[in-house]
Structure 1
Amino acid sequence: MRLRVPPGRAGRLWLRRRLAVLQHGLAVLDRKLRILRQERDRLAHHATRTGQEWEAACRAADAWSLRAALLGGRRAIRLADDGRLAEVRMDWVDAMGTSYPARTSFQAPEEPGPATPLPLTAALVPTRDACRTALHAAVEHAAAKEAERIVSMEEETTSRRIRALRDHVLPRIEAALTEVEMSFDEMERADGARVRRVIASREPRQQ
């Protein structure tokens, strides 16, 4: 699509201003892209680590759950579930206009009081703790993966925007400015030639 440039010298000034704004915008986007890439690398490393911790916690919870089931039966595990829920809170941060989860707060259910009946098997207590640890690790990993996904999407969006500006918008403005500058150069040369002809016509002729 051809740019609608104002006529005359106003058009040249308009193009120069647009070119300056575009170049400044590209510099800002380049800086944003570098920051996003660094943050995405950090978040990817964090997601890998939390994933490994979650897998290890799940293995431990599975082992303790199996042990409790073998010692007390599945009924003992069902009776140990009192229906209380853990509380999870997620705090978000902002990086270059992009919000993503950064910190999680995990609050496990309160410990049973002294009036609570004793578990059917002693393995239920470490099983409960292992399952809470696995749940906490799952929350941390879910937040880390979501943060990585959001920042990766913003990185890709910013990269596409930069390519579109550099490959399409910038060449059109530069070409239009070059065309305007050349037309002004031609007019200035033509005006100069006319002035020289007028001066030459007014000079006294040699006798």
Structure 2
Amino acid sequence: MTTPSPVPPSRAGRLHLRHRLAVALRGADLLEQKLRVLFARHERLRQAEESSDSRWHDRVEEADTWLLRAVLLGGEHALDGTAAGAGPATITIDETSTMGVRHPSAVTCSLQDRAPTSAAPANTALVHAEAAYREAVRAAAEYAVARAAARIVGAEVLSTRRRVRALRRHWIPRLETALARVELALEQSEHEDAVRRRWAAQTLAEGGRGADE
């Protein structure tokens, strides 16, 4: 925000500054309302991010444990046929808006079933490992969405806070100072005009008395 341009000390200038000040004050109030909503939303999103992060790591740890058991039971070659039957994941992300800020809100992760023609897992541990890794993929997608949402809303919180600070600490005080100067100049001008009018009236009255004499 730039420094308010000088306004001539006139009634029109005073009205102009009062309008700009009212707009700035209203804008600051609205931004503070937005900031409160965004801050509360950001706190919930951060909690969701932390929760989904923890869940993702738990699922990966569980899957790795089952995989290790499967390798101990059947050897690494047992993984080849199992991995060949795995299909791609389809991710669908829903979005929402918080105070005009669009961000991810939910995710759907669809994993293809094992192809009927693919080789069956060599042992039970591989079955559990495959199921656990599927859950880990879903948890990873949920964490990614939660993290993105928290980052987007968090960035808007910082931006809004900077705008409020600029209004409250810089722009509004400058407008108030400029308005005070214009009002003081107008007051002095009106006082000088009143003195001149009284002097003119007194001069005319004295001149009239002199003519009568």
Provide TM-score, normalisation by structure 1: 0.91
C-alpha deviation, 1:7, in angstroms? 6.0
Which of residues 85, 93, 102 in structure 2 aligns to 1:99? 102
C-alpha deviation, 1:79, in angstroms? 1.6
Correspondence list, 1:99-118, <5 A: 99-113=102-116, 115-118=117-120
- Could you tell me how far apart the structure 2 residues matched to 1:2 and 1:169 are? 8
- Could you tell me how far apart the structure 1 residues matched to 2:43 and 2:159 are? 17
- Could you tell me how far apart the structure 1 residues matched to 2:122 and 2:6 are? 82
Correspondence list, 1:52-71, <5 A: 52-71=54-73
Aligned to 1:190: 192
SS of the aligned residue for 2:102 comes to strand
Provide TM-score, normalisation by structure 2: 0.89
Aligned to 1:31: 33
Single out whichever of 117-126 and 50-59 deviates more from structure 2: 117-126
Are the equivalent residues in 2 in contact too, given 1:33–1:155 (CA < 8 A)? yes
1:28-69 superposed Cα distances (whole Å, 9 cap, x missing partner):
110111011101110111111111111211111011111111
SS of the aligned residue for 2:123 comes to coil
C-alpha deviation, 1:118, in angstroms? 2.7
- Could you tell me how far apart the structure 2 residues matched to 1:149 and 1:40 are? 9
1:142-163 superposed Cα distances (whole Å, 9 cap, x missing partner):
1111111111111111111111
1:85-130 superposed Cα distances (whole Å, 9 cap, x missing partner):
01111111111121111100010112432x4433221222111100
Aligned to 2:149: 147
Letter in 2 for 1:155: V
Correspondence list, 1:158-173, <5 A: 158-173=160-175
- Could you tell me how far apart the structure 1 residues matched to 2:194 and 2:142 are? 74
Letter in 2 for 1:201: T
Number of aligned positions between the proteins? 206
- Could you tell me how far apart the structure 2 residues matched to 1:76 and 1:11 are? 84
- Could you tell me how far apart the structure 2 residues matched to 1:63 and 1:2 are? 66
| Identity among equivalent pairs (%) | 37
Correspondence list, 1:1-40, <5 A: 1=3, 3-5=5-7, 8-40=10-42
- Could you tell me how far apart the structure 1 residues matched to 2:136 and 2:54 are? 11
C-alpha deviation, 1:131, in angstroms? 0.3
Are the equivalent residues in 2 in contact too, given 1:86–1:107 (CA < 8 A)? yes
- Could you tell me how far apart the structure 2 residues matched to 1:189 and 1:4 are? 22
- Could you tell me how far apart the structure 2 residues matched to 1:189 and 1:131 are? 84
C-alpha deviation, 1:135, in angstroms? 0.9
Are the equivalent residues in 2 in contact too, given 1:98–1:151 (CA < 8 A)? yes
C-alpha deviation, 1:179, in angstroms? 0.5
- Could you tell me how far apart the structure 2 residues matched to 1:203 and 1:7 are? 32
- Could you tell me how far apart the structure 2 residues matched to 1:5 and 1:197 are? 30
